[in-house]
Amino acid sequence: MAKIRLTVNGVTHTREVEDRTLLVDLIRDGLGLTGTHIGCDTTQCGCCTIHMNGRAVKSCTVLAAQANGAEIVTIEGMAKDGRLHPVQQAFTDCHALQCGFCTPGMIMAVAGLLKDNPHPSDEEIYRGLEGNLCRCTGYINIVKAVKQAAGQEHS
Amino acid sequence: MFPVNYVRAKSLKHAVEQLAANPDAKLLAGGMTLLPTLKQRLARPSHLIDIGALRALRAIKRSRDKLSIGAGVRHYEVAASALVREAIPALAYLAGQIGDPQVRNLGTIGGSVANNDPAADYPAAVLGLAATILTNRRRIKAQDYFQGMFATALEDGEIITRIVFPLPKKAAYEKFRHPASGYAMTAVFVAVTGRGVRVAVTGAGPGVFRWTKAERALGKHLAPEAVEKLSVDAQAMNEDMHASREYRANLVNVMTRRAVAKL
């Protein structure tokens, strides 16, 4: 067993986990933050994307023990003071989802993309979302949402 | 995943001790290949020795004629590094072509080179630039390091610490990406160095290899046409559900010409 301490959405948690526990399982089952989804469980679909120490990562392919001491942000930590994060607002305004299963991971990936590149070109948006699969929308409205969110304030 | 013991290495020395004490241990850096392998139960190490957080492995340094990248440097760091972009832009470009953004945020250059996947990107740059692999024990030249599919010169208990790239005059990387995985169906790294032109091919054969026929032709005439009529032996290429041997052999030629055109 590994004793780990990590900060999730600004709150510090201490937990005892099995060494093989995946970060996504700790987030969902251990902390009850079920906004982070498990899609493929094979590092492909990006539904489990969260931010670890400021970088977007797939939490199905990180051990909880690796995140010991890390600063984690999940989809639940994006809205501030009752206001949606600009990327969340853009997904709402542009109807950038249908079933919604990929949406939390998509939003975390877009927030990561815009942090590195606040004004991406279409090509850079396509490349920046290569780690996330959406099987409903055809991505058209997702790309629209990224453009709306681009250049706005990001916290 | 089978049960496993996780150990976060406090230092390189600690990691070496842990490997010596646990013969079935594996090193964990970014985990982008190892963790999926464990989840599929394709490997059953007793311990995972996590060297991903070791500061000593995270530096990028440049001297007059060399660029040295710590084994624990992430792909996104290589892609974004001002030092790398200035010294060897083709290497920064290559790092930005690996996998997807989330994978680049964790995957490391040392992990990629240690794993030596036949379709990985970094081996093409390491061999193409005649880099040296530094370990906790010795220095290994790229030509001696890569030994075929997933095989390297690394011994038990040996840890890559840095990779040192001599600066080329010019270099370019061209990759035909698998559209789903991002792996190289075939990719070619061309480097113009003080000692001639080097052409390293990944993704096409059982392991990274130099296309010496093309190197000689490009040494005489550095232009895409110089290799137009040359070919690699299709029988020596890989074949799978994505591409036949002949298709990959053709891609070697096409990617080489595109890389040369980009120089």
Contact list, A40 vs chain B (CB under 8 Å): none
- The token duo for B211 is 């296309």
Q: Which amino acid is residue B193, in one-letter code?
A: T
**Co-location of A16 and A69 in the same domain:** yes
Whether A110 maps to a domain, the answer reads: yes
Contact B50, B9 (CB under 8 A): yes
List Cβ neighbours of B71 (8 Å cut-off, separation of 6 or more): B29, B51, B57, B108, B109, B110, B111, B113, B114, B159, B160, B161, B162, B163
Task: Output the DSSP codes for B105-153.
Answer: TT-BHHHHHHHT-TT-SHHHHHHHTT-EEEESS-EEEHHHHB-STT-BS
Three-point CA angle A4, A8, A14, nearest 5°: 25
CATH number at residue A106: 1.10.150.120
Same domain, A93 and A123: yes
Same-domain status, B251 and B178: yes
Domain with A9 in it: 2-76
Tokens 């060399």 belong to which residue?
B66
B46 touches chain A (CB under 8 A): no
In angstroms, what separates the C-alpha of A26 from chain B's closest C-alpha? 15
Cβ of A19 within 8 Å of Cβ of B4? The answer is yes
Of residues A11, A10, A113, A102, the one with CA closest to residue A56? A113
Tell me the mean pLDDT in the region B28-41: 96
* A119 and A62 belong to one structural domain: no
The nearest CA of chain A is from the CA of B111 a distance in Å of 15
Are A131 and B100 a contacting pair at CB < 8 A? yes
Within a domain: A81: no
Nearest to A92 by CA among A50, A143, A145: A145
Q: Tell me the shortest Cα–Cα distance from A99 to chain B, in angstroms.
A: 22
**pLDDT single digits (tens) B161-183:** 999 999 999 999 999 999 888 89
Q: Which residues 116-145 of B have a C-beta within 8 angstroms of A?
A: none
CATH of the domain at B177: 3.30.465.10
CB of B130 closer than 8 Å to CB of B117:
no
CA A54 from chain centre, in angstroms, equals 11
- The answer to whether residues B132 and B225 belong to one domain is yes
Q: Residue A154: is its pLDDT beyond 60?
A: no
Do the beta carbons of residue A134 and residue A142 sit within 8 Å? yes
CB contact under 8 A, A55 and B76: yes
Which of A47, A76, A105 finishes a domain? A76
For residue B29, give its domain range: 5-50
Q: In this structure, are residues A35 and A76 in contact, taking their beta carbons and an 8 Å threshold? A: yes
Q: Which two tokens stand for residue A56?
A: 């977007």
Do B130 and B224 belong to one domain?
yes
Q: Is residue A155 part of a domain?
A: no
Domain count, chain A: 2
Q: Does the pLDDT value for residue A62 go beyond 50?
A: yes
Q: How far apart are CA A17 and CA A6, in angstroms?
A: 12
Same domain, yes or no, for A6 and A64? yes
Rounded to whole angstroms, the Cα distance separating B239 from B241 reads: 7
| Predicted ipTM of the assembly | 0.96
Is the residue at A49 inside a domain? yes
Q: Is residue A154 part of a domain?
A: no
Query: pLDDT tens for residues B190-204?
Result: 999 999 999 999 999
* A67 plus A102 within the same structural domain: no
CA distance B106 to B52: 9
Summarised one tens digit per residue, pLDDT across range A8-54 is 999 999 999 999 999 999 999 999 999 999 999 999 999 999 999 99
Q: What is the pLDDT of residues A76-131, one digit of tens each?
A: 999 999 999 999 999 999 999 999 999 999 999 999 999 999 999 999 999 999 99
**C-alpha distance from B42 to closest chain A C-alpha (Å):** 13
CB atoms within 10 A of CB A18: 17
- Candidates A17, A20, A110, partner chain B, best to mutate (most B CBs within 10 A): A20
Reduced to 3 states (helix: H, G, I; strand: E, B; else coil), residue A19 is: coil
Per-residue confidence at A155, pLDDT binned at 50, 70, 90? very low
Say if residue B147 is in the same domain as residue B28: no
> pLDDT category, B114, cuts 50, 70, 90?
very high
A-B contacts (CB, under 8 Å): 78
> Does residue A8 form part of some domain?
yes
Residue-level pLDDT at A153:
52
Contact B181, B104 (CB under 8 A): no
Amino acid sitting at position B171: A
Is the domain of A114 the same as that of A140? yes
| Pairwise CA distance, residues A133 & A44, whole Å | 8
Structural domains in chain B (count): 2
Say if residues A14 and A3 touch (Cβ distance below 8 Å): yes
CB contact under 8 A, B3 and A41: no
Residues B38 and B85 in one domain: no
Alpha-carbon distance B81 to B112, whole Å?
18
Query: Could you tell me which residues of chain A have a Cβ less than 8 Å from any Cβ in chain B?
Result: 2, 18-20, 22, 41-44, 46, 49, 55-58, 61-63, 65-66, 68, 109, 112-113, 116, 128, 130-132
Q: What is the pLDDT of residues B202-222, one digit of tens each?
A: 999 999 999 999 999 999 999
How does pLDDT run across B81-104, given as a tens digit for each residue? 999 999 999 999 999 999 999 999
Strand-pair partners of A6: A13
Do residues B232 and B255 touch, judged by C-beta distance below 8 A? Answer: no
Q: Which of A76, A111, A140 is the last residue of a domain?
A: A76
3-class DSSP assignment, residue B259: helix
The helix or strand, by DSSP H or E, that contains position B245, with its residue range, turns out to be helix B245-262
* CB spacing of B35 vs A63 below 8 angstroms: yes
Whether residues A57 and B106 touch (CB distance < 8 A) is answered with: yes
